[in-house]
Structure 1
């Protein structure tokens, strides 16, 4: 059975514009050309509000949840409110949500600035969680995400795909290769 990758995108109108559409397009293109493309199904939700987050996970039963958007460090990640403005969702709320889906979600990717705090909390429940230790540029976030899914769609483990994605930043001459951090439930935190 194919694993579902659920991409959740939020770029609230009161935050600076990110190229989330390009990130998702490039991930999709990589998955379509991958050797094991039939092993994955890509689902997307845009302008995600807290209710959409919950419903998307319930509806799609993903193995991998990928959030792309803005992070606020200890304050949480930025989803949208009903008006399209930023609504920070706390670390505790996110960890609590993923605790409920611990039997089905294998990996969470928080491709947002300062999201390592949330990654660490979510990793108490989910085997592999990737977050960002500091601000990350659009270019680095996109390069990292595409390479991560290239690795996963080639049949590699989450840890290998993470290392491959960090190396992709180095190969591209992007100095942010130490920004992504992998937190694993069964072992100590890693970074490149």
Structure 2
């Protein structure tokens, strides 16, 4: 066990409110090292084992505590200027002065393709975020409906949301955005890689609620964030049900990984044939299939 310096003791509560993977990535940003990178790999491996059911909950909790302790140990050893950079980074990454996590909902249902119930999905997400026990930790930002690529790029850089939720059509080659006339525009995966470049510096999770979006989830997650995508066509009812319950679990204080796993359990009970369609990726690695 180690003794934290006064700096770390003052912010430890705030750090532990954040995802451990997010803290580790921030640590790597300010001080890249093999030991810091290996700790992040250990965390990702732990989450992979947890989702596959190859580790018990008790062992999972024990190892996660060890990872937190190692994180604080490495943070404690940083030189003063690196500590200042780290604390500045996590302060800058907060949404506004309230520290609430911003959720940006973007949707595209172009007029020249099958219409999706994006309005209904947004309403369900809004209701879920408003009724959780920790609802004050989240802020649902103004949605971008019939979103164009230009609008999204401007808003994501301006708002720097903690969560980005895309509702729309997808295909293995890319996602379907709108044009200024609300017509279909396919944004290919290699372009999306640039669109989401450096997203991991402030976004905790991206949800791509679109058919075949697992291909894009893998690529985007390599930017250093958690991404959820669908590996096959998904029905509107199942997609909306996923969103509704995922955000309800989040607003009740669960982590992204816990909320994802519990939502998949509900899908298994209510949309059995579509329960394995959602996938979660982190740092380019599939956490559960």
Task: Flag whether TM exceeds 0.5 (same fold).
Answer: yes
More helix by share: 2
Unaligned runs of 5+ in 1: none
Which residue is equivalent to 1:22?
Answer: 120
Distance 1:87 1:173 in 2: 30
- 1:9 aligns to 2:107 (yes or no): yes
Distance 2:204 2:190 in 1: 19
The match for 2:149 among 43, 50, 59 is 50
User: Which whole-Å deviations, capped at 9, do the CAs of 1:44-96 have from their partners, x for residues lacking one?
Assistant: 1111001011012022210110000000212x100011221110111122122
List structure 1 segments (4+ residues) > 4 angstroms apart after TM superposition: none
TM-score (norm 1): 0.94
- 1:66 aligns to 2:135 (yes or no): no
User: Which whole-Å deviations, capped at 9, do the CAs of 1:76-134 have from their partners, x for residues lacking one?
Assistant: 10001122111011112212222233210111000000001100000101321000000
Unaligned runs of 5+ in 2: 1-98
- 1:133 aligns to 2:240 (yes or no): no
Distance 2:131 2:169 in 1: 29
- 1:105 aligns to 2:105 (yes or no): no
Shift of 1:174: 4.1
Taking the TM superposition and a 5 Å limit, the aligned residue runs for 1:39-188 are: 39-43=137-141, 44-74=143-173, 76-185=174-283, 188=285
CA RMSD of aligned residues (A): 1.3
Larger radius of gyration: 2
What SS class does the counterpart of residue 208 from structure 2 fall into? strand
- Shift in alpha-carbon separation, 1:174–1:21, aligned structure 2, 3 A: farther
What SS class does the counterpart of residue 162 from structure 1 fall into? helix
User: Which whole-Å deviations, capped at 9, do the CAs of 1:18-37 have from their partners, x for residues lacking one?
Assistant: 11111110110011111111
C-alpha contact (below 8 Å) 1:65/1:105 kept by paired residues = yes
TM-score (norm 2): 0.64
User: Which whole-Å deviations, capped at 9, do the CAs of 1:118-171 have from their partners, x for residues lacking one?
Assistant: 000001013210000000000010011111111111111111111111112122
Which residue is equivalent to 2:8?
Answer: none
Count, aligned residues? 190
